[in-house]
């Protein structure tokens, strides 16, 4: 029996890259799940705290994230949908794992290394200054391990950038098993469910990914954009001056990005989609991309706006999700406490 688990940060309104790269995979997994699969999706507020947050904005963002997931088709009857911070076991288990994880293992995380690369000693540029980073940034892969193992997840759908963290989760599970379980098999070692990675690129600089941190909003399509906004952004997307349309991500990244977006909207093969445009111009392609995006986003956008106003419903979904999540982790947590001698 599969237990599928994944989490997303409460970043508020998502962009097209987040949808095609992450959320759409969740929806597909849910809709194609076997009847006996257990599926859990969580909005990870504790993880968000590793970066500075404005409390008022965070409380809006987490609710917006819940509304977004529902609007795009996560069905709380089929998936356990909850806020991480509504089930105390994540933090509890993470503390226990903190106490069995060697520092060296955390230092090897590439996410940590790339954080370190951003902080330079004011007096000596060649030195990094760890004191500029908080401890949560260092230990959050442990919290991730707790998120996953609390539910004895067997499959974790993540992008390739997360495989190192998943390996750490397996190492922690194994360390716990060897330390506390005479049978050495208490925690299930979860597997990565590599989901198709549809990298969506910036509309203005296709050598970079579409990202929420880019200061220029015209580089990305937001899931709340109106048709007029979508159309304007797609029209001004960077392409090339080569005649005719071909799919060639290396030499024609802008054009290829538009083709990939169109193929994703149509759930079709990108090479097949490209064939239709071989003797057409960028104007025609852009018009079709805008319309396809509108087709994809129209329904979820209005559902999102409706849900956003319905706080009572959102709170009820969160409450029910939290109850289900707590029920699923309870037995594991009791056993863990017994094994470590604190029950
Ligand atoms: P940042 O600007 O910090 O990169 P982001 O919202 O653009 O933030 P993340 O928060 O890092 O992206 O990612 C959230 C999820 O969305 C992850 O699963 C990630 O793989 C996916 N994702 C983000 N950007 C893209 C993209 N351009 N194409 C495909 N998937 C993406």
Give the rounded percent of residues in the chain with a pLDDT score beyond 90: 90
16 pLDDT band, cuts 50/70/90, is very high
Mean pLDDT of 234-257: 96
- The whole-angstrom separation of Cα 171 and Cα 109 is 13
Ligand 1 pocket, mutate which of 8, 10, 22, 72 (most atoms under 8 A from CB): 22
Q: Which of 20, 197, 178, 172 is nearest to 99 (CA)?
A: 172
Q: What is the pLDDT of residue 196?
A: 72
pLDDT of residue 58: 98
DSSP secondary structure letter of residue 20: I
CA of 302 to the centre of ligand 1 (A): 23
Residue range 104-116: mean pLDDT, rounded = 94
pLDDT in tens, 136-163: 999 999 999 999 999 999 999 987 788 9
The arithmetic mean of pLDDT across residues 26-45, rounded, is 96
Contact 238, 203 (CB under 8 A): yes
Separation of CA 18 and ligand 1 centre (Å): 5
Please report the pLDDT score of residue 160 as a whole number. 79
Confidence of residue 232 (pLDDT cuts 50, 70, 90): very high
Distance of CA 106 from the midpoint of ligand 1 (Å)? 22
Asked if 121 and 128 count as a contact pair (C-beta separation under 8 A), the reply is yes
Phi, psi of 81 (to 5 degrees): -115, 120
Q: Which two tokens stand for residue 193?
A: 């469910």
Average pLDDT over residues 172-190: 97
SS3 percent helix, strand, coil of the chain, rounded to 5, is 55, 10, 35
How do residues 275-308 score in pLDDT, each as one tens digit?
Answer: 999 999 999 999 999 999 999 999 999 999 999 9
Q: How far apart are CA 89 and CA 329, in angstroms?
A: 7
Q: What is the pLDDT averaged over residues 319-335? A: 98
Residue 13 main-chain phi, psi, to 5 deg: -70, 135
Is pLDDT of 121 > 80?
no
Per-residue model confidence (pLDDT) at position 275: 96
The span from the CA of 65 to the CA of 81, in Å, is 11
CA of 82 to the centre of ligand 1 (A): 20
User: What pLDDT was estimated at residue 343?
Assistant: 87
> Does residue 122 register a pLDDT over 80?
no
pLDDT band at residue 129 under the 50/70/90 scheme:
confident
Distance 231 CA to ligand 1 centre (A): 22
Ligand 1 centroid – CA 284 distance (Å): 28
- 63, 311 contact by CB (below 8 A): yes
The ligand 1 atom at the shortest distance from the C-alpha of residue 14 is 6
Structure tokens that stand for 115 in this block: 């954080």
The DSSP code sequence of 214-233 is: -S-GGGS-BTT--HHHHHHH
- pLDDT of residue 227 exceeding 80, the answer is yes
DSSP state of 35: T
pLDDT(191) > 80: yes
Tokens 């506390």 label which residue? 180
- Which of 217, 213, 211, 196 shows the shortest CA–CA distance to 260? 196
Q: How confident is the model over 329-335, as a mean pLDDT?
A: 98
Q: From 17, 23, 61, give the residue whose CB has the most ligand 1 atoms within 8 Å, as the site to mutate.
A: 17
Q: pLDDT band at residue 125, thresholds of 50, 70 and 90? A: confident
> According to the model, what pLDDT value does residue 128 have?
84
- Closest Cα to atom 4 of ligand 1: 211
Please tell me whether residue 158 adopts helix, strand or coil conformation. strand
Q: Is the pLDDT of residue 198 over 80?
A: no
ipTM confidence: 0.95
Average pLDDT, the chain: 95
Extract the runs of DSSP E, i.e. beta strands, from 119-268.
155-158, 191-194
DSSP labels for 80-100? EEEEGGGSTHHHHHHHHHHTT
8 Å CB contact between 18 and 213: no
Task: Give the orientation angle of helix 135-149 with respect to helix 163-180, to 10 degrees.
Answer: 70
pLDDT above 90: residue 74: yes
| Ligand 1, residues at Cβ distance < 6 Å | 9, 11, 17-18, 20-22, 159, 198-200, 209-213
pLDDT at 112 over 80: yes
């Amino acid at each position: 029996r599969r237990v599928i688990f994944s989490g997303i940060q409460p970043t508020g309104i998502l962009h097209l890259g987040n949808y095609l790269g992450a959320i759409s995979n969740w929806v597909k997994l849910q809709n194609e799940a076997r009847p006996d699969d257990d599926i859990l999706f969580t909005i990870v507020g504790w993880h968000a705290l590793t970066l500075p947050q404005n409390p008022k904005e965070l409380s809006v963002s987490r609710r917006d994230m819940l509304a977004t997931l529902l609007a795009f088709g996560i069905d709380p009857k089929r998936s356990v949908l909850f806020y991480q911070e509504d089930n105390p076991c994540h933090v509890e288990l993470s503390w226990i794992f903190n106490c069995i994880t060697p520092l060296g293992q955390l230092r090897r995380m590439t996410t940590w290394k790339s954080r370190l690369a951003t902080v330079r000693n004011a007096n000596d540029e060649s030195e990094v200054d760890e004191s500029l980073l908080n401890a949560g940034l260092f230990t959050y892969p442990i919290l991730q391990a707790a998120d996953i193992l609390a539910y004895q997840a067997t499959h974790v759908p993540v992008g390739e950038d997360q495989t190192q963290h998943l390996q750490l989760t397996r190492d922690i599970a194994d360390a716990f098993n060897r330390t506390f379980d005479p049978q050495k098999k208490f925690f299930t070692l979860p597997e990565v469910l590599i989901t198709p990675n549809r990298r969506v690129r910036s509309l203005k600089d296709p050598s970079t990914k579409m990202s929420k941190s880019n200061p220029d909003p015209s580089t990305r399509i937001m899931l709340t954009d109106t048709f007029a906004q979508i159309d304007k952004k797609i029209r001004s997307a960077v392409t090339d001056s080569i005649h005719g349309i071909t799919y060639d991500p290396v030499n024609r990244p802008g054009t290829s990005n538009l083709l990939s977006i169109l193929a994703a909207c149509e759930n079709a093969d990108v090479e097949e989609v490209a064939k239709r445009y071989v003797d057409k111009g960028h104007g025609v392609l852009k018009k079709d991309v805008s319309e396809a995006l509108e087709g994809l986003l129209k329904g979820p956008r209005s559902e999102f706006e409706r849900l956003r106003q319905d706080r009572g419903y959102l709170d009820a979904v969160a409450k029910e999700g939290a109850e289900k999540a707590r029920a699923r982790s309870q037995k594991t947590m009791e056993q863990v406490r017994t094994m470590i001698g604190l029950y």
